[in-house]
Structure 1
């Protein structure tokens, strides 16, 4: 079974990061839940919306997360390409892939108590 994960990421070029963070924090009023050196996490109605600064990026991308107890079988079911070269999967059991429109999707096994 494949189901929605808890994370949505917007990968933003470095030159647009500050104004994008300000847009979600100051104009929309989303609550900041986590701050990292190159990422800002916001509460998005129980989900986490990550705004990630990506220096080598020229335009914004949206990346989604899906949960599956068997990420290999889920990837086969989706018929999508494995794209694990996109970003390291440290401590995560799963795969990066993409939908037919090119939206990046992480299909991963949830950690204990994560759902």
Structure 2
């Protein structure tokens, strides 16, 4: 049986360290988006903004040369979702960033190399 997939609430822009301040300024000062508090225990600096019914995360990442967009997908059955996606030939990419132990999910790459967090929340 095919697991159900839905859009998640998070969008992340992984930003090179040398562009981070400018990206924050763009969303906060130029566009005037509301900054949100967050308590994520990420190993990098992040700022969150309200983005409609989504949360836009701006993450400061050293060692990358250009920004990347990462999306969240939810599923009702994470083990079945991972098995289904692997059998469909999709790339599971858990090596790209460790997930906190409190997150039940995995990383997935689309055919165009957009990273997705597949989670139950």
Q: Which runs of 5 or more structure 1 residues have no equivalent in the other structure?
A: 111-115
How far residue 86 of structure 1 moved from its aligned partner, in angstroms, is 1.1
CA–CA distance in structure 2, aligned partners of residues 72 and 28 of structure 1 = 40
2:79 paired residue number? 72
How far residue 35 of structure 1 moved from its aligned partner, in angstroms, is 5.8
1:3 paired residue number? 6
Aligned partner of residue 25 in structure 2, secondary structure: helix
TM norm structure 1 = 0.89
1:96 paired residue number? 107
2:91 paired residue number? 81
Q: How many pairs are equivalent?
A: 110
Aligned partner of residue 91 in structure 2, secondary structure: coil
Q: Which runs of 5 or more structure 2 residues have no equivalent in the other structure?
A: none
How far residue 41 of structure 1 moved from its aligned partner, in angstroms, is 0.3
Deviations along 1:39-62, one digit per CA (max 9) or x if unpaired, are: 000000121000000011111000
2:51 paired residue number? 44
Tell whether 2:69 aligns with 1:62.
yes
Deviations along 1:2-48, one digit per CA (max 9) or x if unpaired, are: 00100000000000000001001111111000267600000001210
